[in-house]
Amino acid sequence: MRPIITELDNNKKGSIRTDVADLVMVKYKCSSNGVPITQTNGSTLPLVSSTSKDAEFGGYNPFDHRTVQYPTTDMETFIHLLKGSLGSGILAMPLAFMNAGLVFGLVATAIIGFVCTYCVHILVKSSHKLCRRMQVPALGFADVAEVAFLAGPPAFHKFSGLFRGLVNTFLTIDLLGCCCVYIVFVAKNIKQVMDEYVLELNVRWYMLMMLPLVILMNLIRNLKYLAPFSMIANFLVGICMTITFWYVFQDVPSTKTVPYITDWHKWPLFFGTAIFALEGIGVVMPLENNMKTPQHFIGCPSVLNIGMSIVVLLYSTVGLFGFLKYGDKTEGSITLNLPKDQLLAQSVKVMIAVAIFLTYSLQFYVPFEIIWKGTKHRFTSHPIVFEYLLRVFLVVCTVIVAIACPNLGPVISLVGALCLSFLGLILPSCIDLVTCWEEPGLGRGYWRLWKNLAIIMFGILGLVTGVYSSVLDIIVQFNQ
């Protein structure tokens, strides 16, 4: 439930606008920035014969050439960053701590938060360098990946299209995976309430009953008409989080009741869940591109550092006290641990289920746009009909996956390990390495090379082990 911070106007040259900035609750929108440049067929990159290193050292300042219709202040950007990073993943942090242990969970969360924040730093710095070299005012997430390899050494040029495709592919998988998580989340919360007051049914039946409503919601093609649903969802989430924390912080047991560190084979599940919750790199480029003073986004102190410090602190607090409260009975979402015999607690489950249900369409909007943009040229005879059919098909696919894997923990861990390890750790390090390869170089003793390789290896290790552990868990539960 992270917001689209900007929506880019490709028809109005040189403009970056911020419609529905506070209303839309999906992670991010990765697209062209509407920069007034000559373009090749289907390309979002400028036609230039060569990059300019002189421009990078003062000859061209991208900040002076940005035309932002509604620029955001430092405080507004800070608020957007918090909204973009504080999503439904915070409800899964107690489960992450259960797979790590009390002390190890705190230490590892701080380390992952630091590494994720650092990767945002190097991504934004690389974007600034590339904007100067290519002499364009702003670049989107996929644009940065493509331009980095085009503007780097000649040996890397052939990989530019590949990395742009990988960014969009992993964004699509990540966001559709989140849609699957949302289906499971809503069904499980509704099931607990229905089991208590009406009748007991398998959770899969609730997913099937949701399908017609989800399809109808996602036939809405205009993002403008989805914005009111986001307002309602925001309001409900705020109420639910307040009540949930009130329950969690009551009668917290002693720290001796839970393990300080768990068996190492559970750590990959922790990694996947934690990075799913903490990683918000997709909102970074839209935020920075729309700031009145983009120089304040990174640095020390900066909007990014202060915002991410608060995010890591909040996630650590929820994970620590949630795990202390419920121990080895911790569920995939902390709301599922709330008392079943109290009306207030049951109302939380209903409200959070409604909020997440309303958020599904907004989360679905971005991956659909990426897929439709790449396929609509094949359906020129009746594009509207085929668009609706594709929407229905993708919605049905997410529900089928949710029915096959009706457990939040492994699914969240799988999405986090697979997609966000690549987008949040591996990709920024690759971009930084290629961008700095020739200028300013790899540094004394090739320190920049070893630093980025260390982060890449950390990301690959988390990706492989997290995916492996999550898939094993999903297979076990599927067989059961």
**What domains can be seen in the chain, in order of their start residue?**
67-479 (1.20.1740)
State how far Cα 107 lies from the chain centre: 22
- The pLDDT score that the predictor gives to residue 58 is 54
State how far Cα 368 lies from the chain centre: 16
- Indicate the range of 4-18, 168-182, 327-341 predicted with least confidence: 4-18
Predicted TM-score of the model (pTM): 0.74
- For the record, the structure tokens of 125 come out as 């710095």
3-state percent helix, strand, coil for the chain, nearest multiple of 5: 70, 0, 25
Report which of 141, 130, 155 is spatially closest to residue 288, judged by C-alpha positions.
141
Per the document, the length of the chain is 480
| Cα–Cα dist 202/191, whole Å | 8
Tens of pLDDT, residue by residue over 188-243, are 889 888 888 888 888 889 999 999 999 998 888 776 677 677 778 878 888 888 88
Q: Would you say residue 49 has pLDDT above 60?
A: no
Q: Would you say residue 3 has pLDDT above 70?
A: no
Report which of 401, 346, 392 is spatially closest to residue 207, judged by C-alpha positions.
401
> What angle is formed at CA 119 by the lines to CA 115 and CA 125, rounded to 5 degrees?
145
Element (H, E) at 286: helix 284-289
| Cα–Cα dist 461/465, whole Å | 6
Q: How many other CB atoms sit within 10 Å of the CB of residue 194?
A: 15
Handedness of CA 396, 397, 399, 403 (dihedral sign): positive
- Tokens 């409503």 locate to 213
Q: Would you say residue 31 has pLDDT above 50?
A: no
Tens of pLDDT, residue by residue over 327-369, are 888 887 888 888 888 888 888 888 888 888 888 887 788 788 8
